[in-house]
Amino acid sequence: MFTFPICREINEEPAMKPETSFFRTESSRSLRWALGVVGATVLWVAAYAHLIEFADAVLGLIGLERATPLGEAVHFFFYDTPKVMLLLTGIVFIMGVIQTFFSPERTRAILSGKRTGAGNVLAATLGIVTPFCSCSAVPLFIGFLSAGVPLGVTFSFLISAPMVNEVALVLLFGMFGWKVAALYLGLGLLVAIFAGLVIGQMRMERHLEDWVLAIQARSAEGHESAGMSWVERGQAGLGHIREIVTKVWPYVVAGIALGAGIHGYVPEDFMASFMGKDVWWAVPAAVVLGVPMYTNAAGIIPVVEALIGKGAALGTVLAFMMSVIALSAPEMIILRKALRPRLIATFAGVVALGILLVGYVFNAVL
């Protein structure tokens, strides 16, 4: 999850103001929160149910017809933007609350001493729910290793955390339905597990920088994450919305605008000619193209949707998307502080190979 343009923390988020004077007692405060959550949910559902009407109305106001390419593009934009923003806000809040249960310290405690195999599966799974920012990738990496988490297991976590993120999942769900979302989740986990196992097998510990090996990290005393009240967890959810949505929305709008252009102007089945199922080189080309590129899930998915609408094969497009999200130049540069080039190259290579396989499997199965 979140990792963008380098780091979640690029948008600073102001401290949450304590509102103690406003709420006289703890229980009335909880009540207000419960009512607020219910009210927001009702509004959310109502808005989500009227997306098409909204886009139609906007089109009517401008005086465009859906039959024209421009009309179709504009309709796509005004349908998708509110839809994606609604989905994003909802899921980011829920994940913000869930993440209060999984601090990196806790995840490390769960993983330490786990063996290769089961450990990789667990690490990849925890990667979904543990808050992660690529600017913390190095301390996290070292924190794991120093607590006795094997190198391969650590990598499973490090691959799964950015790739299988809540934003990608919810957008895939919103646009292609639960089957595609579930496949993405399953295959993303599989790539993370497989790549971690391979890196573990290769015994690459000597390709860590010397200072990493020398360090004996003190284990942090457990602070806070335990014993939070539900109101505090809710506040964490709101903070998460502020942090992610304020950062991600320009990408979303840009992605949707690009998607809208493709949707309105690119001829049907145009993409099929070079991103279709029968083009054997399409998957490797998508991966090679995707690795140096970097944007986040929210920006790439509207493009993905538009490409698929024009006949691109799902496996090819997902391979492209995975390589864009999971492997990025900024993260490599950050990891370079702790990892020698051979290990970084192996990491990128193994993950790219995994994504390649996923692309082919997807294209063959669907």
Partner 1 sequence: MKTVKVLGPGCARCKALTEMVRQAALQAGVDIELEKIEDMAAIVSHGVMSTPGLVIDGKLVHSGSLPDAQKVVAWLLA
The residue among 24 and 223 lying less far from partner 1, judged by its C-beta, is 223
Token pair, residue 283, equals 């998957």
Which residue in 37, 47, 109, 138 binds partner 1 (CB under 8 A)?
138
> 145 near 212, Cβ under 8 Å?
yes
- Give me the least distance between CB of 243 and partner 1, in Å please: 9
Query: Residue 18 interacts with partner 1 (CB under 8 A)?
Result: yes
Restricted to residues 91-120, the positions that interact with partner 1 (CB under 8 A) are: 103-105, 108
**31 forms part of the interface with partner 1 (CB under 8 A):** no
**Type of residue found at 22:** F
Which window, 21-29, 148-156, 215-223, 296-304, contacts partner 1 (CB under 8 A)? 215-223
Interface size with partner 1, residues (CB under 8 A): 41
Residue whose CB is less far from partner 1, 203 or 337: 337
Asked if 16 interacts with partner 1 (CB under 8 A), we say yes
Tell me how far, at minimum, the Cβ of 289 lies from partner 1, in Å.
29
CB-wise, 12 or 278, nearer to partner 1?
Answer: 12
- Residue 231 lies near partner 1 (rule: CB under 8 A): no
- Report whether 350 contacts 366 (CB < 8 A): no
Which of these segments, 11-19, 46-54, 114-122, 165-173, binds partner 1 (CB under 8 A)?
A: 11-19
Judged by CB under 8 A, does residue 215 bind partner 1? yes
Cβ-based nearer residue to partner 1, 24 or 218: 218
> Binding marks (x or -) toward partner 1, 144..173, rule CB under 8 A?
x-x---------------------------
Residues near partner 1, by CB under 8 A: 6-18, 103-105, 108, 131-133, 135-136, 138-140, 142-144, 146, 211, 215, 217-221, 223-224, 239, 337-338
